[in-house]
Amino acid sequence: MPTKKYHHGDLKNALTRAGVEILSRDGIAGLSLRKVAQEAGVSHTAPYAHFADKQALIAAISTEGFRILFEHLSKIREQYQADPQCQLVEAAWAYVRFAQTDPAHFQVTFSGAVESEKDYPALVEMTGKSFGEVTRIVEACQASGLLRPGPVDMLAVSVWGIVHGFASLLIAGQISHTLLDRMTVREMLIFSLDQITLTPLHPGDFPEFLDD
């Protein structure tokens, strides 16, 4: 008999979390609503109260991932409104921290496993809002002279690609331990951003606040 793993009234979140765990462990082929129900410790019919099929569940997982990113990015942009350098560094760090602290959810969010994104308006909206925050941060950096001028959306894709690539290599264990013994992850991230900024970024100028 499966152990009950969710609090009353929180079934949808429990199913979403169970889906993340199964996807990270078994891949899309190993995902089914029945398995999700078993993982969450509920009846096999319970998931259908929230998800029509497994694609709807994957879309919900991705939507939640982008919502987490959006909330981090918008908070950082507002907190450092007068300091584009901090906006760039802290937004990138929040992205990497999401990958570090919840790699399964991070990987599913960016897996491209949703076959027809346009069928899930909440996902479309949240991906747009997340990218909108990236473009606003990039635009502020351009206005301050930190990043080169040009089409803001294209530059935003480039910045996103650098940070995403770094985060993906990190959680895949593909960054040499020789480097990790020499520099912290945060220092390496700032070094990577420094390759595209027009003014130098020094890790010492961006101390990490451990209570963030």
Element (H, E) at 155: helix 152-171
Query: From CA 129, how far away is CA 35, in angstroms rounded?
Result: 32
**Average pLDDT of the chain to the nearest whole number:** 91
Q: What is the phi/psi pair of residue 71, to 5°? A: -65, -40
Q: What is the phi/psi pair of residue 28, to 5°? A: -65, -40
For 113, 124, 131, 180, 183, the CA distances from 170, given in Å and listed in that order, are: 21, 27, 22, 10, 13
- Look at residues 107, 97, 19 and name the one whose alpha carbon lies nearest to residue 55: 19
Given a cut of 90, is residue 212 above it in pLDDT?
no
- Look at residues 210, 28, 199, 11 and name the one whose alpha carbon lies nearest to residue 111: 28
Query: From CA 39, how far away is CA 3, in angstroms rounded?
Result: 9
Given a cut of 60, is residue 86 above it in pLDDT?
yes
Give the pLDDT confidence score for residue 9 in this predicted structure.
Answer: 59
**What is the mean pLDDT of the segment spanning 141-148?**
98
Query: From CA 11, how far away is CA 206, in angstroms rounded?
Result: 40
**What is the mean pLDDT of the segment spanning 183-210?**
92
For 62, 68, 144, 158, 195, the CA distances from 20, given in Å and listed in that order, are: 10, 15, 40, 28, 34
Reported pTM: 0.88
Give the pLDDT confidence score for residue 12 in this predicted structure.
Answer: 86
| Band (81; pLDDT cuts 50, 70, 90) | very high
Query: From CA 156, how far away is CA 139, in angstroms rounded?
Result: 8
pLDDT tens digit string along 4-43? 455 445 888 889 989 888 887 888 788 889 999 998 889 9
**DSSP classification of residue 184:** -
Give the pLDDT confidence score for residue 25 in this predicted structure.
Answer: 85
Half-sphere exposure for 76 (CA within 13 Å, toward CB): 27
**What is the mean pLDDT of the segment spanning 153-167?**
98
Q: Which residue has the tokens 């999401």?
A: 98
Give the pLDDT confidence score for residue 209 in this predicted structure.
Answer: 64
Give the pLDDT confidence score for residue 113 in this predicted structure.
Answer: 87
Q: Compare 156 and 50 and report the one with higher pLDDT.
A: 156
| Band (3; pLDDT cuts 50, 70, 90) | very low
